[in-house]
């Protein structure tokens, strides 16, 4: 699979798993909604879905250790349709997403069009793309 195909599959994925590092260097994984931006950055915004606390660990982890990994994959019983895409990158936390980020998220997720997420944004700048698919 070539890099353009990796980007297309990641962009179409509905959910991905974000990996961050905690204060002791242990991995912390959480599923996230996200959008790929035109400049190859990737954004995920804290939304209004129920959470135990607004002080999410992933935000603290990114602030302390900006190296992250985002993984999207597809599984089905027809193994010829399997694929995964992994993006390693450097992330930052912004207090809020900008208008372009919100537009990209709203274009992908209908609930975000009705109620744009107002929480902090994690913005990933990719440093390495990797992927695999059963169809080559």
Evaluate whether the domain defined by 3-133 bears CATH number 2.30.110.10: yes
pLDDT in tens, 45-86: 998 776 676 678 999 999 999 999 999 999 999 999 999 999
Helix (H/G/I), strand (E/B), else coil: 6: helix
Cβ(43)–Cβ(112) under 8 Å? no
- Count CA atoms within 13 Å of residue 79 on its CB side: 0
**Cα separation, 53 vs 62, whole angstroms:** 17
Would you place residue 37 in the very low, low, confident or very high pLDDT band (cuts 50, 70, 90)? very high
Q: Which of 4-8, 114-118, 122-126 has the highest mean pLDDT?
A: 122-126
Output the pLDDT for position 123: 98
* pTM, rounded to two decimals: 0.94
In angstroms, the Cα distances linking 112 to 83, 89, 92, 102, 134 are 27, 25, 21, 8, 33
* 42-45/16-21 β-pairing: unpaired
Domain extent listing, the chain: 3-133
């Amino acid at each position: 699979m070539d890099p353009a195909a990796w980007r297309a599959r990641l962009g179409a994925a509905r959910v991905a798993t974000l990996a961050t590092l905690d204060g002791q260097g242990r991995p912390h994984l959480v599923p996230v909604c996200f959008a790929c931006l035109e400049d190859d950055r990737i954004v995920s915004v804290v939304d209004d879905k129920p959470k135990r606390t607004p002080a999410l660990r992933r935000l603290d982890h990114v602030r302390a250790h900006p190296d992250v990994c985002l993984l999207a994959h597809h599984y089905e019983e027809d193994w010829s349709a399997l694929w995964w895409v992994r993006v390693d990158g450097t992330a930052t936390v912004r207090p809020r997403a900008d208008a372009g980020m919100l537009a990209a998220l709203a274009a992908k997720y209908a609930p975000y069009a009705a109620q744009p997420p107002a929480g902090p944004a994690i913005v990933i700048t990719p440093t390495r793309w990797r992927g695999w698919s059963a169809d080559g």
